[in-house]
Amino acid sequence: MCAVPVDGNMAVMIKKIGVIGSGQMGNGIAHVVALAGFNVVLNDVSLDRLKSAMATINGNLSRQVAKKIITEDARKQALDRISSADSIDELADCDLVIESAVEKEEVKRKIFHDICAVLKPEAIIASNTSSISITRLAASTDRPERFIGIHFMNPVPVMELVELIRGIATDDATFDAAKEFVTRLGKQIAVSEDFPAFIVNRILLPMINEAIYTLYEGVGNVEAIDKAMKLGAHHPMGPLELADFIGLDTCLSIMQVLHEGLADSKYRPCPLLVKYVEAGWLGRKTHRGFYDYRGDKPVPTR
C-alpha cells in the first residue's frame, strides 16, 4: 500500500486502482497493477470489450506462468483482484484512477469531467497519455494538484519503463505517491518535463515517421526498411513493424501533437501515414497496416 499525504495532515492509503479503458494499454496496466497486489477496477463502455480484456489478461498471465516468471497461484490471485465495470460510478471508491483511453484530448477531457463527479476529493487522477500536455489535461479537472502523467510503455507487462510527468500544478505529495506506486509495480522511472510527447515518443515517433517518409519517397520497400534497421541498427523490431504494433492512428496522433505543439516542420506527419489511417489500416489491431496480418504470415502491403 502507498501512503499519500494530502493537505499536509491526512494520508490516503492507495489500495484500490481504477483503470479507464480496457484496450492494449489499459488491460496491460490492470495486469501489472493486480500482479503487484493492488485491487483493480477495469472500466470500459462495453461489456464485450471488458470480456475480451479479461481474456487477454488471463492469456498474458498464463504465458508468464509458462515462462516461470510468475507462479500459477500468483496468476489466480491477480485475476481475483481485477473486477470489470461498464459504469464509471463503480470507480467512486478508488484511491488512484489511471485513464488509458484513445489518444484524443476531447475524449480524455470528457472522461475526467465524468470521473471527477464521482471520485472522493482526495483521490489521485493519472493519465497514461503518450503525448498530450499534462498541465492542460489537469486544468480540465477539479484537482489539478492531484493530477499526474503516468505513461506506461507497450506492452506493459514486458516493458520496464514508466515516464512520470508533472503538470504545472502537480503537488509534491502526488508526485511522491506516483513514484512509490510505480516502484511497487517493479518498474523503472524516467521523469519528463511536460513537453509534447515527453521523452520516449519525442525521440521514437519522429524516427518512425522518417521511416514512413523513406517508404513514401521510394527509397526502400517495407521489407527493406525494416530489415535495414533490424540488422543495421540492431533494433528488435523494424520501424514499420513497430508502427503497426503501436497503431498507426496513435502514431499519427502523436506526430500531430508534436507538429502543433512545437511548430517545427520536421514533425510534419508523413502523408502516407495519414492515408493509411484514413483507409482504416491501423496496423495489427485492424489486421492491416504496413503489413497484412490476415494470413498465416504477415505480408508487406508496399
Task: List beta partners, residue 45.
Answer: none
Active site residue 31: no
Active site residue 43: no
Model pTM score: 0.90
Q: CATH number of the domain that 8 lies in? A: 3.40.50.720
Catalytic residue, candidates 27, 100, 128, 201:
201
Residues 266 and 157 in one domain: no
Q: Which pLDDT does position 12 carry in this prediction?
A: 60
Q: Which pLDDT does position 227 carry in this prediction?
A: 98
Task: List beta partners, residue 163.
Answer: 151, 190
Catalytic residue, candidates 22, 151, 192, 209:
151
Residues 187 and 52 in one domain: yes
Catalytic residue, candidates 22, 27, 130, 192:
130
Rounded CA-CA distance 140/120 in Å is 17
Active site residue 27: no
Q: What is the pLDDT of residues 191-247, one digit of tens each?
A: 999 999 999 999 999 999 999 999 999 999 999 999 999 999 999 999 999 999 999
How large is the angle between the packed helices 239-246 and 200-216, nearest 10 degrees?
A: 120
Q: CATH number of the domain that 232 lies in? A: 1.10.1040.50
Boundary of a domain, candidates 169, 192, 215 = 192
Which residue's C-alpha cell is 503518450?
A: 130
Q: Which pLDDT does position 36 carry in this prediction?
A: 97
Residues 38 and 56 in one domain: yes
Per-residue pLDDT of the chain (302 residues; tens, 9 = 90+): 555 454 443 456 789 999 999 999 999 999 999 999 999 999 999 999 999 999 999 999 999 999 999 999 999 999 999 999 999 999 999 999 999 999 999 999 999 999 999 999 999 999 999 999 999 999 999 999 999 999 999 999 999 999 999 999 999 999 999 999 999 999 999 999 999 999 999 999 999 999 999 999 999 999 999 999 999 999 999 999 999 999 999 999 999 999 999 999 999 999 999 999 999 999 999 999 999 999 999 999 99
Residues 178 and 246 in one domain: no
Rounded CA-CA distance 90/177 in Å is 23
Catalytic residue, candidates 43, 163, 192, 241:
163
Boundary of a domain, candidates 141, 162, 192 = 192
Residues 49 and 126 in one domain: yes
Q: Which pLDDT does position 3 carry in this prediction?
A: 55
In this structure, what are the phi and psi dihedrals at residue 42, rounded to the nearest 5 degrees?
-95, 120
Boundary of a domain, candidates 123, 157, 192 = 192
Nearest to 12 by CA among 126, 123, 139, 109: 123
Residues 124 and 167 in one domain: yes
Contacts of 11-16 with CB under 8 Å at 24 or more apart are 12/95, 12/122, 12/123, 13/95, 14/38, 14/95, 14/96, 14/124, 14/177, 14/181, 15/39, 15/95, 16/40, 16/41, 16/93, 16/94, 16/95, 16/96
Positive or negative: CA dihedral 146, 256, 130, 284: positive
Determine the structural domain holding residue 89 and report its residue range: 2-192
Active site residue 151: yes
Residues 181 and 213 in one domain: no
